[in-house]
Structure 1
Amino acid sequence: MKENLVAIVGPTAVGKTELSIKLAQLFRGEVISGDSMQVYRGMDIGTAKVTKEEMDNIPHHLVDIKEPTESFSVAEFQEQAIPLISNINARGKTPFLVGGTGLYVNAVTHHFMFADSPSDPNYREELEQFVTEHGAKALHCKLEEIDPVTSRELHPNNYRRVIRALEVYKLTGKTLAEFRQEQKQQTPYNLVMIGLTMEREVLYDRINRRVDRMIEQGLLEEARSLYKSGVRNCQSVQAIGYKEVYEFLEGHVSLTEAIEMLKRNSRRYAKRQLTWFRNKADVTWFDMTNGLSQQKFQEMKDLIEGKLKEKAK
């Protein structure tokens, strides 16, 4: 019998966190974060990490499990999330996978098998040297030439994932997009995928206001503390919200310019997130432009209840 899994996906600032907690309260749920940056301790404001108060006694998993100096991969996320889903189901509760990192969510909902894709440590080292000499953007251009689909999904600063995509192509002659497509696309779960969307101008305004709040809440101080403690040239601080402030701390841009860069990069990221999830056929979409109405919430509730009853038969 398939295990239950509810996934709530969508772009940054669309309201996933608040909704997931409300639904988890109804369905005896526990939340598994599907965000690649909320795993890092001490990076709370810039990742819009859920607070203890916001959790409202709903258990949250895969948050604050890594030091900012450590790396974290989608394969490692998959290794940790899948047993968690089984554990939550075994305790008679409902796992809610919540996040906007599309590759991470897909790795769990459809068990994309990373172990099956070959690796070449020497080639990987060669590409890492290329990044050191020519920069992450130049590496991203290499990927864009051979695999435009994956290049649109990956930000140039996520150079480790870009390297992985190039490595797969070199060893198999297939793009990462093709490699994934060949794998079985059926989910192993009794899965409900709820997607949240919003009119672009409204979403962009929410993102801009969220960034302003982050600055008010102390993002600058948070990033400065990481910088002073030696957290530099790490995967964690390539995240949107930290790399822009680091540019300011290193004297490359003014604070005003850094904030504008952060808003622009967040908007672009939201656009990429929507593109990723829009291509997933099994997502049921809800427009949140006018907020979460009682009717919309009821529809989501009915959708989840219907799937859980389907399993119970």
Structure 2
Amino acid sequence: MIEKEKVIVLIGPTAVGKTNASIELANRFNGEIISGDSMQIYKRMDIGTAKITREEMEGIPHHLLDIKDPRESFSVADFQELVRKNISEIHSRGKIPLIVGGTGLYIQSVLYDYQFTDTPGDEDYRKELEAELEKNGPDWLHGKLLRIDPVSASNIHPNNTRRVIRALEIYHCTGKRMAEFQASQSKELQYNAAIIGLTMDREKLYERINLRVDMMMTQGLLEEVKELYDEGVRNVQSVQAIGYKELYEYLDGLIGLERAKENLKQNSRRYAKRQLTWFRNKMDVAWFDMTDENRHSEIIEDISEFIAGKLQLKSNK
């Protein structure tokens, strides 16, 4: 029997503290980090995606950051292919891959045997849906999916129009909902994986999200978004991300800046809730509660012990 490659996976909602924890774990286990975030792949979208800075990396190699122009599209299948290649390359260097992020479907596609090529498509119907999107907007299209496939609709943000269209297309072609296709995929892990989830008391998490949004605005999020806006980057996947969409509405003159900030906070809180629901329902996760900041070192120690035991790895500490 071929031995499966070892992978550490660190997941959790936005603002829970994955970045700091990932650096500590990578240092302990001689790791290289692969971003598991569907928006951090885009260049010049740093503040709004909470991308790790060069200083925060502490010299640890990071992969899948800044690999696409904001006008380019990027699919789950693209992500799966690139991450699996990264995993093999990292192992070839005698290091341990550490996937870190919050985009559930993307990470799941790597860990399990997702066969994207088997999923049927209909280009004419897709174009029809794109025309409907242009005419009626993302909420209308998401409502259409909600009526047909409420499970998928609850897991796909209305602004992720590409995935909304994909879910509608699958149903149109087969009469099956997207969840039924996902259920038929292999449940066996492709890797020897230790899947760690970070969680936190909801009130504290929401407080951290609100503070993070205020900090992003101070750091220049509006200027970052305005650069893309002024270049005419719109109606593409990248600027449908939370943090960009809300400020585009402000720049379009549809809402005031304070309303845009409040919308950004609210959408981020809702996203965090959806992330937690996804991870709890779809993956076999060992959860660690990060609420008590005074216990941070102790919790990292507990996580390290879990990883060492699960993957038979030695910790550097």
Q: Shared fold (TM-score greater than 0.5)?
A: yes
**Hey, what's the Cα distance between the residues in 2 that align with 1:146 and 1:159?**
16
Task: Name 2:299's counterpart in structure 1.
Answer: 296
Task: Name 1:123's counterpart in structure 2.
Answer: 125
CA RMSD in angstroms, aligned pairs only? 1.3
**Hey, what's the Cα distance between the residues in 1 that align with 2:236 and 2:170?**
23
Offset at residue 111 of structure 1 (A): 3.0
**Hey, what's the Cα distance between the residues in 1 that align with 2:257 and 2:33?**
35
Counterpart of 2:75 (choices 73, 76, 86) is 73
- 1:299 counterpart letter in structure 2: D
- 2:205 counterpart letter in structure 1: L
Flag the 1:114–1:194 CA change in 2: closer, same or farther, 3 A: same
Counterpart of 1:28 (choices 23, 27, 30) is 30
**Hey, what's the Cα distance between the residues in 2 that align with 1:72 and 1:184?**
23
* TM-score, normalised via structure 1 length: 0.97
**Hey, what's the Cα distance between the residues in 1 that align with 2:297 and 2:36?**
26
Q: Which runs of 4+ in 1 moved over 3 A?
A: none
Task: Name 1:44's counterpart in structure 2.
Answer: 46
Percent identity over paired residues: 59
Which deviations, in whole Å up to 9, do the C-alpha atoms of 1:92-134 show, x marking residues without a partner?
1110111001111111111311111111111111111111111
* TM-score, normalised via structure 2 length: 0.96
Aligned pairs for 1:85-96 within 5 A = 85-96=87-98
Residue segments in structure 1 that go unaligned for 5+ positions in a row: none
Alignment check: 8 A CA contact 2:13 2:273 kept: yes
Counterpart of 1:212 (choices 205, 211, 214) is 214
Counterpart of 1:103 (choices 102, 105, 129) is 105
Structure 2 residue 142 is the aligned partner of structure 1 residue 140: yes
Counterpart of 2:254 (choices 245, 252, 255) is 252
Structure 2 residue 312 is the aligned partner of structure 1 residue 309: yes
Counterpart of 1:173 (choices 172, 175, 181) is 175
May I ask how many residue pairs the two structures share in their alignment? 311
Alignment check: 8 A CA contact 2:108 2:283 kept: no
Alignment check: 8 A CA contact 2:8 2:307 kept: yes
Task: Name 1:200's counterpart in structure 2.
Answer: 202
- 1:193 counterpart letter in structure 2: I
Which deviations, in whole Å up to 9, do the C-alpha atoms of 1:219-262 show, x marking residues without a partner?
01111111112212221111100111111111111111111110
Offset at residue 281 of structure 1 (A): 4.5
Alignment check: 8 A CA contact 2:193 2:311 kept: no
Say which SS state the counterpart of residue 95 (structure 1) adopts: strand
Task: Name 2:160's counterpart in structure 1.
Answer: 158
Task: Name 1:60's counterpart in structure 2.
Answer: 62
Residue segments in structure 2 that go unaligned for 5+ positions in a row: none
- 1:137 counterpart letter in structure 2: D
Which deviations, in whole Å up to 9, do the C-alpha atoms of 1:64-86 show, x marking residues without a partner?
00001111111111111111111
**Hey, what's the Cα distance between the residues in 2 that align with 1:263 and 1:295?**
30
**Hey, what's the Cα distance between the residues in 1 that align with 2:168 and 2:258?**
36
